[in-house]
Amino acid sequence: QVQLVESGGGLVQAGGSLRLSCAASGRTFNMYTIGWFRQAPGKEREFVAAITWSGGRTSYADSAKGRFTISRDNAKNTVYLQMNSLKPEETAVYYCGTVNGYPVVLSRAYKNWGQGTQVTVSS
């Protein structure tokens, strides 16, 4: 069983940056692909980025490409999401979850969701 805790959210102006962290407990953390998703009020949870257990394969939503970078440090049981040039429409609660195998974009494939961290981008 893996438990995930997200952190690093906050209030930032449009064009600013944040780095989110997804910290895991559990000995099998480094066996999972980790995905970041976000959910705005009244909207479905949407895929942002994911990274395989080795860090050798990453996947990004089109909206994140070129601005966001996902990385992981298995020694620290932590996955990071560096977000640059943030936009107001990216205001949401950001979640991380686990999935077996290669990154997928469907949220229902993921498990062990954390409680989320709020990101608010002001215009």
Q: Give the pLDDT mean for 50-76.
A: 93
Which residues partner with 94 through β-bridges? Answer: 38, 117
Q: Which two tokens stand for residue 109?
A: 């494939």
50: left (phi over 0), alpha (psi -120 to 50) or beta: beta
- Spatial separation of the C-alpha atoms in residues 34 and 56, rounded to whole Å: 12
Neighbours of 62 (CB within 10 A): 6
10 Å CB burial of residue 34 (0-12, 13-18, 19+) is buried
pLDDT computed for residue 3 by the predictor: 92
pLDDT confidence of residue 53: 84
With a cut of 80, say whether residue 30 has pLDDT above it. no
- Rounded mean pLDDT, 91-115: 95
Of 27 and 12, more confident = 12
Q: Please give the mean pLDDT across all residues of the chain.
A: 94
Rounded distance, CA 44 to CA 26, Å?
A: 28
Token pair, residue 120, equals 């608010």
Name the band, by pLDDT with cuts 50, 70 and 90, for residue 44. Answer: very high
pLDDT level of residue 29 (50, 70, 90 thresholds): low
- CA-CA distance, 9 to 29, in Å (whole number)? 22
CA nearest neighbour of 51 among 110, 121, 3, 116? 110
